[in-house]
Structure 1
Amino acid sequence: MKSPFPFIFIVLSCLIISSCQKEFSDPNARPPHVYDADALRFIDSIGISDTTQRFAIDEFVSQLKDSSLWLKFKAIYPMVGGSASTAKWNLKDPRDLDSAYRLTFNGSAVFASTGVLFPTVSDYADTHLIDNTLAGSNNNSIAYYSRTQNTISGYDMGCSDSKSPWNEFSIYHGSDATNWFGFFALGIQSANTVGLFMLSCTPGDVKRYDNGIVTDAKGSAPTATFTNLPILIGSVVNAPLVGQRECGLASIGNGLTDSEALTFYNIVQNFETALGR
C-alpha cells in the first residue's frame, strides 16, 4: 500500500503558500500610476525622479488636454528642476534641438526649484521661436508666470525694443509697457506682479490678461506684423531694462478666447500649487 504522506505533504505545502500570499498581499494597494504619453516623454527627457514633480507635470498635461487647450500651444516651458539642463525643455516637443524650441540660456540666469530669474539685460532664454512662425499676427499668444512681487519697470518677454513692430511685453512698466501686434499699452502699473500674465491676439482684438482677467484691449483687430526675431524670455533684444521677475512658466501658442485664457490661468495655478511654489 502506498504511503499517504507525500500527498498530505503536497496539500499542506499548498495551504501554507496560499496562506502566505494572503498574509503579505495588500488589499489596499493601488495599481501603478499610468502617465500621459506626452507628459512621460517630457519627464524622461529631463530625467525627473521626484514624485511630486512627475505627478504635477502629468496632471498639468491632462488638464490641458481635457480642456482642449493642449493643441493651442507651440511651446510650454514649466521651468522645473532647478538647473539650466532641466529648465530648458519644451513640454510640447522635448527634443534637445533649436527646431524643437528648446531654450538656450544666455548670461547668468539664476536657477532654483521655484523657477528661473533673469537679473540683468544680458540674462535671458532664447526660445528659437521666431515671431513670424506663429499661427499668424491675428492668432497668437505669449504668457509669463511671474513669482516675484516688485514694481521694477522692465521687459519680461518678447522680441525687440529696437526693431518695429517690437512685439515686447512687460508685466510692470512705468512708461513703455507693451507693444504687441498693434496693441500699445502705455505705463502699465499693476499692483500685483505675481501670477500668469498673457497677451493674446485673435481676429477681432489684442488683449492683455492678468491672472485670467482682461485688463486692457486694443479694441480692434491686430494691425502690426512681425519682427522676424526670436521670442526671448526674461528680456528682449536691446532691452534698456528688465523686470527681474522669476519665471515659473512661459508659453507661446495660438490666440485664446476670454474663457480659454481664464481656464489656462487656473490650470497653470494648479500646476504651480502642486509643485509647492
Structure 2
Amino acid sequence: MQFQTKNQVITKLRQLAESHLLVRGFGYGDRWELESAMTKVDGTTIGLTHPSKQPFMWVTPIIARVTEGSLFYDFEIIVGDLVKRDESNELEVESDTLLICLDILSKLNDESYEWALSKQSNLQPFTEKWDSEFTGHIMNVSLEFMFDYDYCQVPFTRPDEDITAFLAATGIDDETQIFAITYLVTQLKENGLWNKMHALYPFVGGTANRHSINLKNPAQYKITWSPTGVTHNANGITGDGIAGYGDTGYIIAAANKDNFHMSAYIRNDVSAGAKCAIGGTSDSNVIQLLPFQTGNLFQSSINQNTASTASNVSSKGNYIGSRLAPNRSIAYKNVTKLFENTTVSTSTPSVSLFLLCRHLSTSQTYLSDFNIALTSIGEALNDVESINFLAITQQYETYLNRQL
C-alpha cells in the first residue's frame, strides 16, 4: 500500500478503463462536469453520448481521508451506456453495466495495484439520467494507501474535523457509513448549508447512543430517548405511536423566531392522523411538522398559532419547512414545493423540540409511528437552499441503501 498521489491514482483508473474490452469512454470530475462532457464537441473531442464513447466510466472525487497510518481516497464511479429509444434493451444495458462495475471492483482488488480496496460498496442502478437514455450503475469505492505523516515532509490537508469528531463520538467504523457521512458533510459545506445547521441527526450506526449524537456538534443537543417506544436499527429511528419520543434539548432562541427550518426524512407510509415528526408548543406558540394529517393534509407550522397546511397523499417523503420572515414560510417534499404562505409568526415556544411527537411543557402529544432516517434544525433555508439540502440528503440515504 505504497503512497500515491491522486493524480497517479486517476491515471491508473484511466488505464483500467482503457484496458477493459467493453469500456470506450472515460472521464473525471464533478457530477456537473459529467453532464457537460455528455455533449462536448470541438475539433478534437466528442461527447460521451457519441456511440464511440459507449459504455463510459466516470470518476467523481468525494474526499481524501487521513487516519492513523493510512490515507483513503473516496471516489464515486459511474458506469453508463445508452439504451434504445424504445427502451427495449434497458434491462440488458443495466445488467451489462453491473457486470462492468463488478469487473472494475475485481480489478481494483488486484494485488498488482499498490492500494487496498474497501470490501464494501453499494451499486445503485439508474435509468434515463442527464436528460438522455443513459442507464447504468453508480458505486462508491474507497482506496487505502500507507501514509506515515512524513511524505517528502510536505504539509498535508488534515481530515475534516467535524467528520472526525462525529466518528469519534459514535465509534462508527463501517466504511459505507463513513463514506455516506463524509459525503453529507462535504456537500453541505460546499453548498453553504453547514453553518445553517444547529443540529443535524443522520441516524446512522443502528443504536440508541449513535442515533443520539448531533453531527453538527457532538457536544451539543444529544438526544435523550424515552425509556420505551423507539426502535433503533440500520434504517434509523421508529416510534411506536404510543410512548416513543426523543428530546433534543434544543430550545429555539428568540433571535430565530423568523429565521428557522426543520426537516425530517420519513421512510414509511402510516395511516393519516395527528402524528408529529418534530415539534413543541407553549403558550399557543407552535412549531411542528405533521406530514400526513387526517384529511390528507401536510402541516408545517413554525413559531405561530395558526396552522400552515397543504394537500398530501402519503407520509413517506423527504420534508423541510422554513420560516424566512415574520410573514413568509415555505415547505417542500422531495424537492417539490408544498406551499408558500403569509401566516404571521407569534413567538418561539419555551420548550425543547421533541422527535416523533410534539412536546408540551410536562407531556407529549401527537406521538407518531414514523421511521425517520435523518432530521435537522437550524436557520431558515430559502427555496434554492431547500432544494439543494433535499437533494444532498436523498443522495446520503442512497449511499446507505435506505433511500425512498
Q: Say whether the fold is shared (TM-score over 0.5).
A: yes
How many Å apart are 1:85 and its aligned residue? 1.2
Do the aligned residues in 1 keep the contact of 2:276 with 2:289 (CA within 8 Å)? yes
Do the aligned residues in 2 keep the contact of 1:134 with 1:253 (CA within 8 Å)? no
User: TM-score normalised to the size of structure 1?
Assistant: 0.81
Aligned with 1:117: secondary structure? strand
Alignment partner, residue 112 of structure 1: 233
Task: Give the fraction of aligned pairs with identical amino acids, expressed as a percent.
Answer: 26
Encode CA deviations 1:143-166: one digit per residue, 9 max, x unaligned: 111011223311111103x64112
* Partners of 2:364 and 2:249 in 1: CA distance: 18
Do the aligned residues in 2 keep the contact of 1:173 with 1:189 (CA within 8 Å)? no
Encode CA deviations 1:123-145: one digit per residue, 9 max, x unaligned: 111010012x2642110101111
Alignment partner, residue 301 of structure 2: 179
Alignment partner, residue 132 of structure 2: none
Structure 1 residues 28, 157: CA separation in 2 closer, same or farther (over 3 Å shift)?
closer
Alignment partner, residue 212 of structure 2: 88
How many Å apart are 1:181 and its aligned residue? 2.3
Alignment partner, residue 190 of structure 1: 312
Alignment partner, residue 244 of structure 1: 369
Q: Runs of 4 or more off by more than 6 Å in structure 1?
A: none
Alignment partner, residue 269 of structure 2: 149
Aligned with 2:248: secondary structure? strand
Do the aligned residues in 1 keep the contact of 2:243 with 2:367 (CA within 8 Å)? no
Structure with higher Rg: it is 1
Encode CA deviations 1:54-104: one digit per residue, 9 max, x unaligned: 111011100001101100110000011111111000001112xxxx10111
Gaps of 5+ in 1: 1-23
Alignment partner, residue 214 of structure 1: 337
Aligned with 1:256: secondary structure? coil
How many Å apart are 1:179 and its aligned residue? 3.1
Q: What is the identity, as a one-letter code, of the residue corresponding to 1:47?
A: G
Alignment partner, residue 381 of structure 2: 256
Do the aligned residues in 2 keep the contact of 1:117 with 1:245 (CA within 8 Å)? yes
How many Å apart are 1:254 and its aligned residue? 0.3
Structure 1 residues 196, 206: CA separation in 2 closer, same or farther (over 3 Å shift)?
same
Larger RCO (alpha carbons 8 Å, 6+ apart): 1
Do the aligned residues in 2 keep the contact of 1:110 with 1:116 (CA within 8 Å)? yes
Do the aligned residues in 2 keep the contact of 1:121 with 1:240 (CA within 8 Å)? no
Structure 1 residues 91, 243: CA separation in 2 closer, same or farther (over 3 Å shift)?
same
Aligned with 2:178: secondary structure? helix
* Partners of 2:184 and 2:159 in 1: CA distance: 11
Alignment partner, residue 171 of structure 2: 47
Alignment equivalent of 1:79, drawn from 199, 203, 209:
203
Encode CA deviations 1:228-259: one digit per residue, 9 max, x unaligned: 11011110124543331101001001001100
User: TM-score normalised to the size of structure 2?
Assistant: 0.57
Alignment partner, residue 274 of structure 1: 399
Alignment partner, residue 235 of structure 1: 357
* Partners of 1:77 and 1:113 in 2: CA distance: 14
Q: What is the identity, as a one-letter code, of the residue corresponding to 2:338?
A: T
Structure 1 residues 178, 71: CA separation in 2 closer, same or farther (over 3 Å shift)?
closer
User: Aligned Cα RMSD in Å?
Assistant: 2.3
Structure 1 residues 47, 67: CA separation in 2 closer, same or farther (over 3 Å shift)?
same
Alignment partner, residue 72 of structure 2: none
Structure with a larger share of its residues in strand: 2
Pairing of 1:25-64 with structure 2 (within 5 A): 26-27=113-114, 30=143, 32=145, 35-64=159-188
Aligned with 2:285: secondary structure? coil
Do the aligned residues in 2 keep the contact of 1:208 with 1:216 (CA within 8 Å)? yes
How many residues are matched?
246
